[in-house]
Structure 1
């Protein structure tokens, strides 16, 4: 009886493993296989898969932040406006400021060619850091997957989540093809995430939580590191929908406090601040919700960002310029 029980137990385990492997194989063959669930956030895991399959060689400019950084930069415009710049969009959707800087530290460690960092954020990125884990991914597991072309199959076992796998498998193929209007998982060669739509949805983002000191502390650590290493930092406050500001910050005190804390943080450790919400004019029709710009507007915003970077000497200097400067 004991031998029969153990045989049945192992047969069941190996049978379940075989079914799981066959499922992954079938999903992979049909283009419906999501990436390993390192973060269990589909857009984050898909971005890691993109970086693995499309390595960006020797970038010297790193973009970090949440979805507004991912979707509000067009690397093609940056390279045209700032010759010699090699941008890498290392922004991931849905991250708070402490998580964005965690990812930034990881990418800086892996990409020593980076000389400048631009963090694009909306104020809500700096509220609620206390309630999310800073380490949005495990670097020990992600490093070999992204940078060493290690086999992904073991990570499907390590991060096994049948509900997440089934849910993402139903949509990931269409998302990669850009067929899901509000949630495309499409990247250009710089890692930017175009949000191409002519439609508009509700403001979507409601009243913000109070600003969190730990979010600004995380920014301060990033700023201090970059200053110590002789690298440049610019923080950009993304444009916000006027109706959202009228509804949730009618007297402007919340945004004024956000500006104040950003500037105090950077003044203490180093860095440049551009408040694009105040300084860059764009019509209401530019927005698809409270914080996101449609892709047809992003080119103009990126051109304005490039101008700010040039004026603040944030843009990395082309190597040819450095070589010329060395000549007697």
Structure 2
């Protein structure tokens, strides 16, 4: 009886094999997976090409920050020939300098705005080191900043992007398509594709991605928004260490540094620093970093007066006020250069000079 059962089971297995109902061949399974991958890849490339043709293709997500990545894209497509002045910093440096006004005031200046939005001081200096390595013609660096830039360096990665990838993208015009695979970020791709065309056209009032020929980012609006920036975090020594490292490098290489504290909205100062202790500490620590390594500090918040309606929030100036601020910046640069060129200037001041353009 048991023998008959075994024979019946064996016969059933033979019938399944003969009728083709056994498990599929591993080769067919792999082919199906491969076909799925090829199809997904083809769909991805067709999506990129479609977005590119319609003007909705964001730049490769080197930093996964559209503002930063679009600035890199601009530097790739609009190289600045032999700049001798580099502007670095966060959004206040990007939006508070008018290169045309600067050239008008200092005709021999060839400015390059290398500022990116949303950066802390350690990240701004990281970008500065990268640009200095790529642009040997730069002789002077101006870092425009605000106290908030010096409060959180400990919590963000210093490397905003990979130099190994960004350098060939920007300076060697390496084909861009491979970077979309290397920095594959489908969620941000979809999100940015919905807005980047309008941002490039300046149609999104508070977040335009518009650049002039120097890399400045005009913020053109007649409106004002709330202060936005609340009580600042504690100042972070890591930020000041990054500034000191940048200053030391520039001194070794015979280049000069001017650090500028941008004007702040009077209401913000009244509300969040009524006794001026926070800003006094900020000033002292900037000066200490520069005293240790060389450089000049201009506190434009104290020395340059502008009405409250020049601000769109706590720290940002509207573009209509920027040419006047840029003129004041040029005067400060010329003043510093004239003072350090005088024969009776002390050696310490001479180490802090800005060249006369």
TM range (shorter): over 0.9
Identify the match of residue 139 of structure 1 among 157, 163, 166: 163
Structure 1's unaligned 5+ residue stretches are: 319-328
Q: Quick one: distance in 2 between partners of 1:231 and 1:175?
A: 36
Other-structure match for 1:188 = 212
Structure 2's unaligned 5+ residue stretches are: 1-23, 338-352
**1:65 and 2:95 are equivalent in the alignment:** no
Higher relative CO (Cα under 8 Å, sequence separation at least 6) belongs to: 1
Identify the match of residue 78 of structure 2 among 51, 54, 63: 54
Other-structure match for 1:155 = 179
**1:231 and 2:255 are equivalent in the alignment:** yes
Deviation, structure 1 residue 307: 0.3
- Are 1:61 and 1:315, in contact at CA under 8 Å, matched by a contact in 2? no
Q: Quick one: distance in 1 between partners of 2:184 and 2:271?
A: 42
Deviation, structure 1 residue 83: 1.7
Q: Quick one: distance in 1 between partners of 2:244 and 2:105?
A: 29
Q: Quick one: distance in 1 between partners of 2:355 and 2:99?
A: 14
Other-structure match for 2:120 = 96
**1:289 and 2:313 are equivalent in the alignment:** yes
Q: Secondary structure at the match of 2:86?
A: strand
- The structure with the largest alpha-carbon Rg is 2
- Are 1:85 and 1:316, in contact at CA under 8 Å, matched by a contact in 2? no
- Are 2:334 and 2:356, in contact at CA under 8 Å, matched by a contact in 1? no
Aligned length: 318
- Superposition TM-score, scaled by structure 2 size: 0.88
Other-structure match for 1:170 = 194
Q: Which runs of 4+ in 1 moved over 2 A?
A: 314-318
Q: Quick one: distance in 1 between partners of 2:354 and 2:96?
A: 18
Other-structure match for 1:221 = 245
Please list the CA deviations of residues 116-168 of structure 1 after superposition, one character each: whole Å capped at 9, or x if unmatched: 00000000000010000000010000000000010000000000000000000
- Are 1:59 and 1:111, in contact at CA under 8 Å, matched by a contact in 2? yes
- Are 2:257 and 2:354, in contact at CA under 8 Å, matched by a contact in 1? no
- Are 1:60 and 1:316, in contact at CA under 8 Å, matched by a contact in 2? no
